[in-house]
Structure 1
Amino acid sequence: MKIVAIAGSLSQESTTHKTVAIIARAANEAGAEVEVFDLRKYPLPIYDGRADESTYPETVRLFKEKMMEADGFIFASPEYHGSISGVLKNALDFIGARELEGKVVALAGTAGGALGATNTLNTMNIICRTLHAWPLPSMPSVPQSYMAFKPDGTLKDEKIQKRLEDLGKNLVNTIRLFHSQVSYK
């Protein structure tokens, strides 16, 4: 089982990347092969809807290939101005229902504020459903993420840590369930 994880942040000290790492580690321990497609290492150009996709850089072809091969996804974003980050939205603009239809997605958000990333999570949920994916109902958020992590990359709040770990495990279990009961390819 292949899972592709994407953190919608380009920051070197990204709390969104730390959040994805917790979820990915739990999914890996549950038996999945998880690949983080790091948009810092593989930057995508601004999506412009051009007719000839072969004119995009090689990173676009690689990204779309990874998305197509995946059985499920982890998408996480910081909350920027009440919504998802531009870098994640841009990446998702390169794909469509062809890549996401019938696939399960784990969603998580990070925010600088105390309320968390509710708007970001709702936006990602809508995008995934529009592309015919199956977002998991649990969508954890890491509030005040700039001070939420310990030096080892785990969260200070054990309840949120567990929610992220459970999200990774539930993603794997749900993909297994879908593979055993639903034919979508």
Structure 2
Amino acid sequence: MKVLAIAGSLNEQSTTHLAVGIVANAAREAGAEVEIFDLRKYPLPIYDGRSDESTYPETVKMFKEKMMEADGFILGSPEYHGSISGVLKNALDFIGARELEGKVVALVGTAGGAMGATNTLNTMNIICRTLHAWPLPSVVSVPQSYMAFKPDGTLKDEKLQKRLEDLGRNLVKSIGLFRSEIHSKS
């Protein structure tokens, strides 16, 4: 079972990367092969809807192939101005239902404010559903993320840490259930 994790932040001290990493580690421990596609290391150009996709850099082809190969996803974004980050939106613009249809997605949001990343999570949920994916009903928001983590990358709030870990485990369990359901109908 392959899971692709994407954190929609280019910040070197990204709390979104930390939160996605916690979910990814829990998914690994639950038996998934997890790869993190780091948009800082593999930058994508601005999506411009060109008709000849072969003219995009190799990173776009690699990104789309990894999206196709994955059985499920972990998507994380900081909340910027009440929505998802531009870098995550841009990455998702390169793909469509072909890459996401029928796949399970775990959603994580981080925010500087005390209200959390509710709008970001709702936006990611809408994008996933529009692309025919199955976002998990439980999502995790890390409020005041700039002060939420310990130096070792875990959360100070043990309940929130557990929620992120549970999200990773639930993703793996849901992918397994979804795959077995499809095979039983074939």
TM range (shorter): over 0.9
Query: How many pairs were matched up?
Result: 185
Determine the C-alpha separation between the residues in 2 that align with 1:165 and 1:108.
11
Letter in 2 for 1:108: V
Determine the C-alpha separation between the residues in 2 that align with 1:88 and 1:100.
15
Determine the C-alpha separation between the residues in 2 that align with 1:60 and 1:140.
28
Determine the C-alpha separation between the residues in 2 that align with 1:18 and 1:121.
17
With structure 2 as the length reference, what TM-score do the two structures score? 0.98
Determine the C-alpha separation between the residues in 2 that align with 1:30 and 1:154.
18
Counterpart position of 1:115: 115
Counterpart position of 1:82: 82
Deviation at 1:182, TM superposition (A): 1.8
Determine the C-alpha separation between the residues in 2 that align with 1:82 and 1:42.
26
Counterpart position of 2:149: 149
Determine the C-alpha separation between the residues in 1 that align with 2:123 and 2:178.
24
Give the 5 Å matches for 1:31-180.
31-180=31-180
Deviation at 1:137, TM superposition (A): 0.4
Q: Which string of whole-angstrom CA distances, capped at 9 and with x for unpartnered residues, describes residues 13-42 of structure 1? A: 000000011000000000000000000000
Letter in 2 for 1:123: T
With structure 1 as the length reference, what TM-score do the two structures score? 0.99
- Structure 2 residue matching 1:77: 3-state secondary structure: strand
Counterpart position of 2:8: 8
Letter in 2 for 1:179: R
The RMSD of aligned alpha carbons is 1.1
Deviation at 1:106, TM superposition (A): 0.1
Q: Which string of whole-angstrom CA distances, capped at 9 and with x for unpartnered residues, describes residues 41-88 of structure 1? A: 000000000000000000000000000000000000000000000000
Determine the C-alpha separation between the residues in 2 that align with 1:161 and 1:115.
18
Determine the C-alpha separation between the residues in 2 that align with 1:73 and 1:112.
24
Counterpart position of 2:21: 21
Determine the C-alpha separation between the residues in 1 that align with 2:166 and 2:17.
17
- Structure 2 residue matching 1:51: 3-state secondary structure: coil
Q: Which runs of 4+ in 1 moved over 4 A?
A: none
Letter in 1 for 2:136: L
Deviation at 1:155, TM superposition (A): 0.1
- Give 5+ residue unaligned stretches, structure 2: none
